[in-house]
Amino acid sequence: MTLLLVTCGRERAGGSADTPTSRATPEESLAPRSRPAAPEVRSAAESPTIVFLGTSLTAGLGLDPDSAYPAVLQRKLDSAGLQYGVVNAGVSGESSAGALRRIDWILRQQPAILVIETGANDALRGQEPDSIRANIQAMIDRTRAQTQGARIILAGMEAMPNLGARYGRRFRDIFPALARANHVDLIPFLLEGVGGIDSLNQQDGIHPNEAGARVVADNVWKVLLPLVRSPAA
């Protein structure tokens, strides 16, 4: 299992659980580093944080951390002059139940925006869609109870076709149903334009390569940009 809990700035900060680059406390590991920006330098305390809670798709399995889609989004934010620190909290192989077990610690960061990307590993294991939905609902509930108005973005996913049409439909419907019920923003399908395209994926056919990660970042950016430009965010 690979754990990435790194800030995504112009310099890499962090690494895998097996090869830590520092002995920072959990709180220090979560804190975004300050980044130079004209006309002023904003400290970590002043910069709102966007946390990406996810699986290997978010962690960037098989990629340099600077190529994972959250790092690509950090560069987009910097280029747009938007003062946000991005935290990659992706864990390879994690289920929605595992993400739920981590959520209380993640929320100590008090993110301005939390992006939830989970469920893909549950689907690979054929987990009951109702159970996946309950886990994600619990994450949304805890986020609203433990933060000061954090905005939530839910990343839609789809199941592999070998699980059958009925399972695929039930799994796919989890995400828009939760978004409607909880009034949260939805990325319709995180891997839109990437899934099933050999040239945008690694040899396993599942995880995006560097070019694919840039497309994924564009999919997220379409939903994220209006929020970071909004005073409510």
Q: Which active-site residues does the annotation give?
A: 56, 204, 207
**DSSP β-ladder status, 185-187 and 113-116:** unpaired
With H, G, I as helix, E, B as strand and everything else as coil, classify residue 190: coil
Per DSSP bridges, beta strands 12-13 and 151-155 are unpaired
Q: Are 102 and 128 in contact (CB under 8 A)?
A: no
Which run of H or E residues covers position 137? Answer: helix 129-146
CB of 144 closer than 8 Å to CB of 174: no
Q: What's the gap between Cα 169 and its chain centre? A: 23
Are the CB atoms for 213 and 221 separated by under 8 Å?
Answer: no
According to DSSP, the residues that pair with 152 across neighbouring strands are 114
β-strand partners of 22? none
